[in-house]
Structure 1
Amino acid sequence: MTSKIVVGLDGSSSGERALAYAQSLASRLESCEIIVAFIIEWSPYTFQTAEENAQRHKRREEEITTAQTRVVDPAVSTLCDAGFAARGIVKHGDVADLLDKIAKTESADQIVVARSSEGGFVNRVFGTSTVNLVLHASVPVTVVP
């Protein structure tokens, strides 16, 4: 049976620590896939004009492409080069909710995120989002220092 670990990245060195920890865990398992996830905080509850919505959609697609090419693809490539099964996911929405949904959808065994004082996950995850993730996740959550 293949284990799965979801790793939340934010493009900072804190995300690199989470990825290194997940890689260390995966190396101890017989068969493990690492799912690299980048969640772009995005609220669907903003009311805008039709023109603003068109620009918002374009901006959203640009953000997905940027996150995929600058953060997720290099992380997945590094993992694959090291012999791990890995793939990436980029989504817009609530960080805690989407990391948990990805874990559920993928039948993951664990979620790994990192805390940071650099402003990345500390602003997006380590506050209320991390608390929500830890309290409500369907699988164990490891918060890497």
Structure 2
Amino acid sequence: MKLVIGLDGQSSGEKALEFAKNLANRMESCELIVVYVIEWSPFSFQTAEENAQRHKRREEEIAIAMERVVNPAIKTLTEAGLTARAVVRHGDVADTIDDIAHSEGASQIIVARSSAGGFSKRIFGSSTANLVMDARVPVTVVV
């Protein structure tokens, strides 16, 4: 079984991570896919120079997300004896998480709700509704 965990870089993501860790520990075999989405729209018209700078900025954003959010989460899961890996992408939060879950053959998406902002603030607007209503796999929202 595969579970996708959507992290936000905030304490609310820790709730989703803890929930997924506890769930995975109850299963005989489970792979955890930790996902961090950097919001980004491809619909921006820019010069070639701006596009080159944007590409460099995107690579830097991915490196920062890996270092600050994703790698510590993976370490927590692997130290608990679980199988885990990371995916960091740019895009629309709900669509990207759904695409990853679907392409990976995940059984469930796990995200957290928070009033603190970050991913949860974004996802509990239209993104939350889109993810919950349109995801191709079940979505668990941890409070």
What TM-score bracket applies, with the shorter chain setting the length? Answer: over 0.9
Distance in 1 of aligned mates of 2:63 and 2:89:
11
Q: What's the CA shift for 1:50?
A: 1.3
**Residue identity opposite 1:108 in structure 2:** A
Conservation of the 8 A alpha-carbon contact between 1:37 and 1:90? yes
In structure 2, runs of 5+ residues without a counterpart are none
**1:3-29: CA deviation from partner (whole Å, max 9, x where unpaired):** 110000011000000000011111111
Conservation of the 8 A alpha-carbon contact between 2:9 and 2:119? no
Aligned to 1:49: 47
Q: Given the two structures, how large is their TM-score scaled by the length of structure 1?
A: 0.96
SS of corresponding position for 1:143: strand
Aligned to 2:7: 9
In structure 1, runs of 5+ residues without a counterpart are none
Aligned length: 143
Distance in 2 of aligned mates of 1:139 and 1:122:
19
Identity of aligned pairs, percent?
Answer: 66
Aligned to 1:138: 136
Aligned to 1:81: 79
Q: Given the two structures, how large is their TM-score scaled by the length of structure 2?
A: 0.97
Q: What's the CA shift for 1:135?
A: 0.4
**Residue identity opposite 1:74 in structure 2:** P
**1:48-86: CA deviation from partner (whole Å, max 9, x where unpaired):** 111111111110000001001111111001100110000
Aligned to 1:94: 92
Distance in 1 of aligned mates of 2:12 and 2:114:
6
Q: What's the CA shift for 1:121?
A: 2.0
| Aligned alpha-carbon RMSD (Å) | 0.8
Q: Which runs of 4+ in 1 moved over 6 A?
A: none
**Residue identity opposite 1:16 in structure 2:** E
